[in-house]
Structure 1
Amino acid sequence: MQAKAKVKLSRSLGIALTPKAAKYMERRPYPPGQHGRGRKKESDYKNQLVEKQRLRAQYNISERQLRNAYAEAVRRTGKTGENLVSLLESRLDAFVLRAGFARTIYQARQFVNHGHFTVNGRKVDIASYRLKAGDFVQVRKKSRATTPFQLAAAGAWAGEVTPAYIESHLEGLIARFLAVPERKQIPVICDEQLIVEYYSK
């Protein structure tokens, strides 16, 4: 997805998916298009659909991937919506982003797919790989000298606060997934209950 398309998607969903989109939305905090500033009547279905699209966009996943994650969330004990977000947050590409190894979720997926990471010492190049509590994720030795990871080691992409479920050592380009996170710990913007209602129909 090109930069302009990401900005447009961000504006339509009301969330910044990239740093560039965040800057753009500060200047134009309304949806794109001729009627972006006007009020729109929104049905329950529309609200549910938007929340689903928001969650998909923040994890850069397909509809099929989200449906599969939802099906697993239903099978687990506890609240389905919270289970869903926790499952998605356990993906390797999401971890790479949160740990400060990548600037955006798009870049995180690209880095994983190109084989730049190991999990517990073994190369993993599947973005959807699900981490378990205690797993160590590290940038591979041959990748550490490249510019993106030198920037990461310097803290260029680290958030203001590292989530409590991640122990990150950027200088060494290694991080640990401490535990499957609770919903309140996960920095994604969505009302997961509306997503549950969408899929429950």
Structure 2
Amino acid sequence: MTKRTSAKYKLDRRMGENIWGRPKSPVNKREYGPGQHGQRRKSKVSDYGIQLKAKQKLKGYYGDITEKQFKRSYTDASKMKGDTSQNLIGLLERRLDMVVYRAKFTPTIFAARQLVNHGHVRVNGVKCNIASRRVGPGDEITLGSKAQEMALVMEAQGLSEREIPDYVSADGAAKITYVRVPTLDEVPYPVKMEPNLVVEFYSR
């Protein structure tokens, strides 16, 4: 797994939400934060604090990508025509590791990044090990023969907690086509995401 194998549920507890919708999340049992002071009454959060939490939640959902990568996605989104918050979600959903996750090739976004980094994923028949690569409409994503036999991959395909969204078209168990860039409403987030607050955070 990647660097956040044990700490990913800590993020759930800090946010107070099960951001990946996983059945093992500790938030399902207790919604207060981690540590001995987790149950203290929460003080009023400032506008900045609300925007920061929205940014941390969205960034965490996409595998806790680096601040540099996340801000670059925002910068690119702000230069595009249309709604910046919608553009940001579209760019994040085009990341290769996220497309692999959406295709149910892996059970978590962290495992998806590892699968890509280890060279098990092909884009239009060409091996690609860059998790942040942006996939475009019409691109075909396939799993290598070794990856198809991994227990991790077989486990992911049997998960009932999430479905393959409409903007990803499955062609068998090891091949998908990225149909289109989704809008915010189409992305199957287990919790409410507020990219408009992220835009406000960066445009302060």
- For the 8 Å contact 2:20–2:61, the answer to whether it is kept is no
Local SS of the residue matching 1:175: strand
Aligned to 2:18: 16
- Runs in 1 of length 4+ with deviation above 4 angstroms? 17-22
The answer on 1:101 being equivalent to 2:102 is no
Higher relative CO (Cα under 8 Å, sequence separation at least 6) belongs to: 2
| TM-score, with structure 2 as normaliser | 0.89
Q: Which residue does the alignment assign to 1:49?
A: 52
- The one of 65, 83, 88 aligned to 1:84: 88
Using the TM superposition, give the Cα deviation of residue 20 of structure 1 relative to its aligned residue in structure 2, in angstroms.
5.8
**Matched-pair identity in %:** 37
SS of equivalent residue, structure 2 residue 7: helix
Deviates more, 1:184-193 or 1:72-81: 184-193
Q: Which has the larger share of helix? A: 1
1:4-56 per-residue CA deviation (whole Å, 9 max, x = no partner) reads 42111111113325566744211112222333332221000000000111111
Check the 8 A contact 1:100/1:158 in 2, yes or no.
no
Alpha-carbon distance in structure 1 between the residues aligned to 2:54 and 2:150 = 37
Gap runs ≥5 in structure 1: none
- Is the contact made by 1:7 and 1:21 (CA closer than 8 Å) also made in structure 2? no
* Stretch deviating more after TM superposition (121-130 or 141-150): 141-150
Offset at 1:186?
1.1
Distance 1:91 1:119 in 2: 12
List aligned pairs for 1:30-45, cutoff 5 A.
Answer: 30-37=32-39, 38-45=41-48
The answer for the alignment partner of 2:120 in structure 1 is: 116
